[in-house]
Every structure is written in C-alpha cells, then in structure tokens.
Structure 1
Amino acid sequence: MKYVLALDQGTTSSRAVLFDRDGQIKAMAQKEFQQIYPQAGWVEHDPEEIWSSQLQVAKEIIDCVDKKDILTIGIANQRETTVMWDKTTGKTIYNAIVWQDRRTAYMTDQLKIDGLEQIFQTKTGLVLDPYFSGTKVKWILENIEGARAKAEQGKLAFGTVDSWLVWNLTGGRRHITDVTNASRTLLYNIHELDWDNVLLDILNIPKSVLPEVQPSSAVYGSTISNLFGSEIPISGIAGDQQAALFGQNCIEPGMVKNTYGTGCFMLMNTGGKLVKSGNNLLTTIAWQLSDKVEYALEGSVFVGGAVVQWLRDGLGIIESSSEIEYVASQVNETDGVYLVPAFSGLGAPHWDPHARGTIVGMTRGTTHAHIARAALEAIAYQSFDLLKAMEADSGIKLKQLRVDGGAAVNNLLMQFQADLLGVPVIRPK
C-alpha cells in the first residue's frame, strides 16, 4: 500500500495525517504548541516549536508504515503568519508574528492616510490590515537589531509557515512557497503572478528576502534523508483555507465553504474570473494547477472558535471546549444578550483593527448559559455578514454552505447557522 503524508500546521497545533490511495486515513497525530502574548494585541509563536511539533507528529505516523511506501508530502498551513530567519545559520531572528497580531495597525493606518489603499487592493486583492504579512515583515526589519542590515546584504529569509517548514524539511536547500500563500502577503501581484516591486518599495522590503513562488501542485524539493530515513518529495502546498476549499470539492464557480476554526474563513470559488469586491471582501488566489489559476472571494473572521477557548480559559464558565453545546442548549435563546468577539479587531466586512470585544444586554437574570449561547450565535452572525457580502459581490444566490473545522461538529451552532442563512449547511462525512 502506498501513502500520502499530509502536514497540517495550524494556529494552535500541528497535525500529520497519513492517507492511502483511496483517501482513507491510515494514521493521524496532533500536538498543540504555546501561544505567546507579549502585550495587548500581540500574538506570537516560537518558530522552533512550530517545526519541532510538526516534525514530531510526522515521525509518529511515519513509524506506522514502511517509509518506502510514502510517495509524497503535502503541506497545508496557517496563512499570513510571518517567520524570518538567517539564511546561513537557519536560525530565526524573532518569534513568528501570527496572523491575529495587531501590532502593525499604526502602519496600515498611515498607508491609508497616505492614499495607498487602492494600489494595494488593486494589485493584491487585499485590504490594508495588520492581518497580512507585509507590514509584519516591515516591523521586524525596523525593530529587530541587525535585521535591516542582514536583509540588505541578502542574508535574511522571509516566509510564511509553509516556507519555514520546507526550509527545514529540505535542510535549508529550498526557500520556496506557493501562490496561495504568496497571495496573502500584501506583496504579491495576483494579476502578474509575481512579487510586486512597487509594493516592496512602498514598504521598504528588499526583494532578496522573498521566497521563490511555485504553483500549488509542484515538486518543491525532497526531505533530507536523516529526518525520516529516506528522501520524500514535497509536491503540494496550499494555505489552509484554500486547501479546505479544494478538499470540500468546491471546484466550480459559485461553490462556497466556511471553516469554523480559530477564526472563520468563508471562500467562494470564482473560477478563472478575478472578482473585485465592492463589499470589503478579499480577492485571492484559490489555487494554481499547472498554468491554470483559479480565484476566490474570501471573508475572514478573526475570532470564531477562539471565543469558545476564551469562555474556557478567560472566563472559566466551561472546563472544555466540547462542553459549550451542552451549556448553551440549557436556554432556548440569549434573552437579548449579544457578544461581539472583537478580541483582535474585526475582520471582513468591517476591517476595524481598533475594535474591541463587548457583551451587551445582560440583566440580573443572565446566566453562563446565555453567554455561552451568545458566543455561539456570534460565530454564526459574523458568518452571515460574510455570506451576504459574497452574494452581493458575485450576484450568485447561495444554495448550500459546505462547512468544516472544529466547531462544525457543534449541532446547535450548525442548526442556528442554517436557520439564519436559510440554506442547508453540509458537513463532510
């Protein structure tokens, strides 16, 4: 039997899954890693822990089969999260700045004041927001001692998490990414399919730090033999949300999926047509297979399932995330309680990095069950906003919503989402 090894590097954990030729799961392993919050609005990961956790779970499941039976490796990764490392030593110069991080809001505010928002949106399909990698790179170059000088000398590498993994998997032989990840940086021209010199100049980022860009399906290199006992080709990379769109078989224009993970990410396949949003959505690359590029409209919610983690870790009203459905179902409605989980600002369609979370409508009769239900409903309400913006931009009325992610197992949430949207919500079998 031959297998494909999938590496899924996410915001809170690293997973490895072994698939057979029929797409059936042979083995799976997962390891959580530390979330670092140096100060309000900042979110970081230790890049070495990202790598070590991903390597650990990969080795764990590779040991389940004959190594020679693993044909290839594919990577799906948390997008926008920014890693910079020394090309000579392979050591990072700072923690990974996570996609949720808001520290560069002052940069994006200034770019807007300078009248540059339109040029970024036209070239990249993105809005000016701290979410994306470009201003994170600029922050590191301007704030970490010696970073600017190393970058100017061509000694520094930037990459999203996929690039960091491939660098380590190949023993530093390949500095590379795919088009889906490149399209999330604020630096990549999605029309010309190349890094954009004008945008690099605006942000004062040397081109030498950037990885080579390849299609989503390509041979990016092979693992060094001392990692897994043999060299295994790496032949697929996609940002996690584009990978989910493809995995949900949303391969025709107008098909939509929503992932309920740490955040919520709704993508609509627009085929070969690059649709410019008039409702504050993102235009992004869905994937590139050979020479054919397909595009998507995307709406990003920064806090989805993370609000459940907050109820557990911040408020302590549940002991585990799985309890949320039971607790929320103890009441039939929120009794006027609304929760806006703007812990990291608001994403689409509002794009307000300065917004903060709030709970309103509480009375002496409000219980932890009302707050739990309001938290779940907040996830659905935010997704509702995305879908309506998507329908307005595309002119396509949604017939069904395909869903995945950890929170998609929550029956109460999925039923409320279906009722709110007025369409069937379809979970994968």
Structure 2
Amino acid sequence: MPDRYVLAIDQGTSSTKAVLISLAGDVVRTASAPVPIAYPRPGWVEQDAGEIVASVLDAAHHCLADVARSDVVAVGFSTQRESAVVWDRRTGEALGPVLGWQDQRAVTVCDALREKGHAEVVREISGLPLDPMFSAAKLRWLLDRTPDAAVGTIDSWLLYVLTGSHQIEVGNASRTQLLDVRTGQWSSELLGLFGVPSSALPTVTPSHGTLGQIGPAGGVLAGLPVTAVLGDSHAALFAHGSQAAGGVKVTYGTGSSVMRLGGSRDVCTTVAWGDPAPVIAAEGNIRSSGATVAWLATFLGVSLHEIAAMAAEATSDGVHLVPAFGGLAAPWWDDAAVGLISGLTFSTRIPQLARAAVESIAHQVADVVEAMGPAERLLADGGAAGNDVLMRIQADLTGIPVRRARTTNLSALGAGFLALGIEPPPLDYDDFLPGPSDGRAARDAWRDAVARSRSSDRSGSL
C-alpha cells in the first residue's frame, strides 16, 4: 500500500512551517515560508492578512512537491494566537492590517474598562488579565474603523479563506478575552463590555473533528479536510504527551508561553484544547524573548549567531536588559513598564549586553514559573531552546531540571498528531540539570531591574 500522510501547518509570527507526517507519526518532509512584520509606530505591530495566507500556501506547496494528493488524508493547523483580523463578510477581502499579538494600540480600550472598575469581572469570566495583548481590545479597535465587518483570529481567518466557514477553535477563542472559560462559549457580558457584536464573531468549535474542507482558494490543499486546529503554544504542549503531566512547558519563540495542565489562581487560565470537552491549562505569557535577541542584533548591526556566540563566552557583569518594549506581560501585566538596560559601567561592552539579552529570557520565564508554583521539570521547545547556554541558565535560575525536546517543530507536530487522532509518540530530550549555585543573588538583581522598569501603580495582579 502507498504511504499516507497528514499535513501539519504551523502559522507562526515570523514564518509558516509545513510538516508532512506519516500515519505512524514519522516526519517525512518539512518546508517553511517567511512572514513579514511591520512596526509602523511605537507599540504597533502589523502583518498583512494576504501575506499570511500566501505563506501557508507557499509552505504547503513546497512540502507536498511530488506527493500525490490522494496520499494526504487530512490537514491540521497550529496558529499564532491573539492576533486580530478584520474582513468583508461578503467578499472575504481583508479590510485592514493584522494587529499582531504584541500590538499595543488598543491600550486605551483596556484603560477605559479598568477605570470603570471592570478589570476583575473580565479576569473572572475570561481567566485573563485586562490587557491589550489579548484579542478583544484589538477587535474593538478594528470594528470602530470597519463597522459591520467579520472579525477573528488567525485560525479564523485561515479557515474562512480556505474553507469558507467562519469558525474559531476553542483554545484560540479562549485567548480573545471574550470567551467564558467556564462554559467554552462567548460571554454576553464580555461582548457587551468590549462592544463586540456576536454577529461579527466566528462560531466556537472543538479542536478536533470535521472542521471543513479546503476549497479552490487552497491551491495544493484543495479538497483536503481540516481535522485539527490548535493555538501554537497549545499544540506544543500536546506534542509533549505524557511528559506534560507534572511539568511546565516553555515555548521559546518570538515571545514565550509558559504553560501547565490544570488551573492556577496566580496566572492566566486558558483552554489548551477541546476534544470535545475543554482541557484547562494555566499559562503565563512573555511578550519578548527571542525578539529581544533579534532586536539587539539589529541594533548593534550583528547577526543572531554573533549574539549567541558572544553570550556563550561572556558574563553579564551586573548588566540587566528588561525588554519591556510594549510593557511587561506575565506575571506583572504592567503595560506602563518601560524597556531599560541597567548596571552599565565604563567596562561594559557588547558581549555583556549579549549575555544580558539571553539572560533576560531565562529570568522572565523564571518569574512566571515562580508564580505557577512547584514543578518537577521544565519542558523546553521553540527556536531559542536550541541555545545550550540559555537552557543551562534556565535550570540554574529556577533550580528545576530542563528537558529540551530534540525534535523541532513541536507546534506543527502537535497539530498533526491531533489531526491523526493519535497520542503523541514519546519524544527524546536533552537534559540540563541545575548547577550548585541556587541563583538567588541573580534573581534578586533581576527583580531590582524589573522594579526600575515599572513606572505605574496600575499594573494588574499576577
């Protein structure tokens, strides 16, 4: 019999990856396509909705080259979360830029709700602190400029363009700040507070099942059924399989997602997936992790490889880089925090800054892990997790063993395994154990730097 496959597509912030997976769960082929990001004003982060679709089709085309379409049985998607899209419900044409998950332009929407005393009810119903990172405020901003339009997140946009259906997967819906995480349905109270009409929103669906058939707009994907959709961080957690029990998953990407199964009163509550019943997870989000290193490389006019090499050989010598480019997210949720570099001396050079940038990733993750409570292990994935120095720093600062998945593309794999309807096969890991130092002095110095960056008393709670 010929080989049969599922195609997993991971639509991320900076690129779209396509992974062809056999029915036995083996990766057969991969391909990727870049996605441009624009920063037109301070705090604004935009992408082009059409370019996102084009990247999906481009990655799929290259991944499926020389593969008979009859051998592909299904498609699974993992997508970037919280980003907001608006389009014409009649023509399907995008009516504005995609407001990226890092975008802060809708902060005034959140400020107005906070001033009216609605922050606690928003947190109680949605499980999320009132913050413009989540989709609701962005959707309000877009609808103010394009009334009577259809809106959604990236998974909604892709499903609409490719299958013609206006739907949103429950895990992605839980990141909009409009879903009642207790019921898995849109909250009429939150819709009213944010001023988002239910008629503009997609229908909430489970993560797995018959989610539509791709039409002619899907190019090489035309005719294939979509059988799984997950948020990218949720898909990575799913891919860790049995290791997720008792562990905290950290995806090191443009930002970082720190997630564990089960609820926690000290961090956000999210729906990891619904199949069909919602599976609840605790999560803390970091706005800038890999993006911090990329910013420093651009600022200094060097490559990412050079930054990593310098960080591996240097110490930070008391220098701290707090990457509050758009405020700080978990566990502080302070959108008035400002980015800063502290501890500079006449002896500070570029290697110290490189080391401080890498350490800032580990410190931010440690902040969230401490808020979550005790954990047996940290499960690392994502591009920046390939940096051994970062993994050792992370183990030292948290005092918790770090297990880094040797397999890459975990978000795509998670979506692919769910599309196949199979339990994720066991992963191989590289282990990083905490060193003899307990990291308390380094953590205290980091907290001092964070305190300097926070310039407002109106930050949210953990």
Amino acid at match of 1:164: W
Residue 247, structure 1, aligned to residue 239, structure 2: yes
- Which whole-Å deviations, capped at 9, do the CAs of 1:195-246 have from their partners, x for residues lacking one? 1111111111111111111111121101115622751000100111111111
CA distance in 1, matches of 2:101, 2:35: 16
Residue 405, structure 1, aligned to residue 382, structure 2: yes
CA distance in 2, matches of 1:400, 1:201: 41
1:198 is matched with 189
Residue 174, structure 1, aligned to residue 160, structure 2: no
CA distance in 1, matches of 2:405, 2:313: 27
2:448 is matched with none
Residue 369, structure 1, aligned to residue 351, structure 2: yes
1:66 is matched with 68
Amino acid at match of 2:345: T
Going from structure 1 to structure 2, the CA distance change for 1:330 and 1:119 (only over 3 Å counts) comes to same
1:186 is matched with 177
Matches within 5 A, 1:3-402: 3-142=5-144, 144=145, 147-148=146-147, 151=148, 156-170=149-163, 173-225=164-216, 227-228=219-220, 230-249=222-241, 253-270=245-262, 275-277=263-265, 279=266, 281-290=267-276, 292-316=277-301, 318-319=302-303, 321-331=304-314, 333-391=315-373, 397-402=374-379
Of 235-244 and 25-34, deviating more is: 25-34
Amino acid at match of 1:384: A
Amino acid at match of 1:231: G
- Aligned to 1:385, the other structure's residue is in SS state helix
CA distance in 1, matches of 2:312, 2:87: 48
CA distance in 2, matches of 1:82, 1:222: 23
Is the contact between residue 286 and residue 330 of structure 2 (CA under 8 Å) also seen in structure 1?
A: yes
TM (norm. structure 2) is: 0.85
Identity %: 40
CA distance in 2, matches of 1:125, 1:228: 39
- Aligned to 2:354, the other structure's residue is in SS state helix
CA distance in 2, matches of 1:305, 1:194: 33
Listed as ranges, the gaps of 5+ residues in structure 2 are 407-462
CA distance in 2, matches of 1:400, 1:29: 31
Amino acid at match of 1:354: A
Is the contact between residue 82 and residue 136 of structure 1 (CA under 8 Å) also seen in structure 2?
A: yes
- Which whole-Å deviations, capped at 9, do the CAs of 1:110-153 have from their partners, x for residues lacking one? 211111011111111011000011111111122x2xx22xx2xx
- Aligned to 2:7, the other structure's residue is in SS state strand
Amino acid at match of 1:47: A
- Aligned to 2:204, the other structure's residue is in SS state strand
Amino acid at match of 1:341: P
Question: Relative contact order: is structure 1 or structure 2 higher (C-alpha 8 Å, sep ≥ 6)?
Answer: 2
- Which whole-Å deviations, capped at 9, do the CAs of 1:89-115 have from their partners, x for residues lacking one? 110111000010011112111211111
CA distance in 2, matches of 1:253, 1:118: 30
State the 1:363 CA deviation: 1.1
- Aligned to 1:408, the other structure's residue is in SS state helix
Is the contact between residue 284 and residue 295 of structure 1 (CA under 8 Å) also seen in structure 2?
A: yes
Amino acid at match of 1:233: P
State the 1:323 CA deviation: 2.8
- Aligned to 2:29, the other structure's residue is in SS state strand
- Which whole-Å deviations, capped at 9, do the CAs of 1:17-55 have from their partners, x for residues lacking one? 111122222111111122111211000100000011111
- Aligned to 2:405, the other structure's residue is in SS state coil
State the 1:191 CA deviation: 0.8
CA distance in 2, matches of 1:139, 1:325: 38
The match for 2:392 among 407, 412, 415 is 415
- Aligned to 1:223, the other structure's residue is in SS state coil
State the 1:293 CA deviation: 1.9
- Which whole-Å deviations, capped at 9, do the CAs of 1:268-306 have from their partners, x for residues lacking one? 101xxxx352x3x2111111113x321111010100000
- Aligned to 1:329, the other structure's residue is in SS state helix
Root-mean-square deviation (CA), in Å? 1.4
Going from structure 1 to structure 2, the CA distance change for 1:190 and 1:267 (only over 3 Å counts) comes to same
- Aligned to 2:42, the other structure's residue is in SS state coil
TM (norm. structure 1) is: 0.91
- Size of the aligned set, in residue pairs, is 403
- Aligned to 2:281, the other structure's residue is in SS state strand
CA distance in 2, matches of 1:229, 1:264: 30
1:394 is matched with none
Runs of 4+ in structure 1 displaced over 3 angstroms? 250-254
CA distance in 2, matches of 1:63, 1:313: 35
CA distance in 2, matches of 1:118, 1:54: 38
